[in-house]
Amino acid sequence: MRMTVASAVIGVALAVSSGATAQDWAKANLAKSPRHGEYVTIKGAEGRPLQLWVVYPEVKDKAPVVVMIHEIFGLSDWAREMADELAGAGYIVVEPDLLSGFGPPKMMGMGAVRGEAPATTAYACDPMDCAPGQTPTRSWHTDAALEEYKLAAALAAQQTSRPTLVLAGYEPQQAPQQYHGDHPLMSDAQTQDSGAPYVPARPGGTSAFPDQSSVTRAVSSLPDAQVMADLDAAAEYGKRLPAANGKLFVAGFCWGGGKSFLFATHRHDLSAAFVFYGPPPSADLMKNITAPVYGFYAQNDARITATVPKVQAEMKELGKTYEPVVYDGAGHGFMRAGEAPDASAANAAARQAGFKRLVDLMGGVR
């Protein structure tokens, strides 16, 4: 199915300074949200701490749960803002940071690794110790310290392709054990499926990496089996929330779109899977799909969109539901790019139409 979208839309009226980072607009939107969003730590693959971003809708009835899978850029400000927006339509969104535990280890001085005296640094809160969204109170004390940190990050990114090397160095901080007032499921920080208040750990997750390229390399190296186990843990956590009604969806973007399609081959209690410009699984795995799969693709994204006709034929032969839509003039990543202040008309229109379709397919605004 092809959908033609209008070429003119009202742009996002959000001014940014010349020194602003690429997703300051997403961070600003999050800051204005009236919804309750929180970080929760649960047990992921192999029992490692898995950090979730969980956002609740402001509704009176129990709500469906959506497991959201971030892009190849990790749990970015936009990924969290996207979860918040979907919660605004009436859905509980559970979004794991799939890089949890794979960030660079806490700096002990890379000079020591080279047989040199450790460099001295002076900062009150480095990325390993700050809670997500917290800004370090002081910057790096020396350029040398920053370079050492980047070297550690590069080594960690390389090691991500060998998870056993990375999983050995956890230094979890003590989790609060008291009753967590407005979250009854968090009263016991040791309960595997109930989760705990945010527990900083070293190594950390997405926010621990020094730049986007190191995040991209690390996400690209995550093994599928581990990702599926982490998504299972996130899904089970979501389904057990008192505010959840038992209905479960999965939605992913870019790299996460491919994992959303893959999750549909793995998990059989999904009501639907939503694939935003992600690659398909093999036909051999598609036979295991039990939920309808809905695709959202960009016309100017041949790397991904060229796979759609073959997938349509394979899914039809298998008797599976697969309904793709290709948005005219849009490029890869239009759900993010179409929301940015400098969005093209085609990306902005595709983003608007794609979000409406997503919500409609889940049952509409609640």
| Residue the block writes with tokens 């399609």 | 261
Of the candidates 70, 180, 266, 332, the residue annotated as catalytic is 332
Burial of 150 (0-12, 13-18, 19+ CB in 10 A): middle
Of the candidates 254, 328, 342, 360, the residue annotated as catalytic is 254
277 in Cβ contact with 296 (< 8 Å): yes
Number of Cβ atoms within 10 Å of the Cβ of 193: 12
Measured CA to CA, the distance from residue 278 to residue 262 in angstroms comes to 10
Of the candidates 143, 301, 342, 360, the residue annotated as catalytic is 301
Which pair of structure tokens corresponds to residue 208?
A: 């621990």
Phi-psi region of 96 (alpha: psi -120 to 50; beta: other; left: phi over 0): beta
Q: What is the 3-state secondary structure (H, E, C) of 52-96?
A: EEEEECCCCCCEEEEEEECCCCCCCHHHHHHHHHHHHCCCEEEEE
DSSP assignment of 228-297 equals HHHHHHHHHHHHTSTTEEEEEEEEEETHHHHHHHHHHHH-S--SEEEEES-----HHHHTT--S-EEEEE
Number of Cβ atoms within 10 Å of the Cβ of 239: 18
Establish whether 360 is a catalytic residue: no
Establish whether 180 is a catalytic residue: no
Give me the torsion for CA of 94, 52, 46, 250, rounded to 10°: 20
The pairs formed by 270-276 with CB atoms below 8 angstroms and a separation of 24 or more are: 271/64, 271/247, 271/362, 272/361, 272/362, 273/249, 274/249, 274/250, 274/358, 274/361, 276/251, 276/252, 276/335, 276/354
Establish whether 183 is a catalytic residue: no
Amino acid, single-letter form, for residue 108: M
Residues marked as catalytic: 254, 301, 332
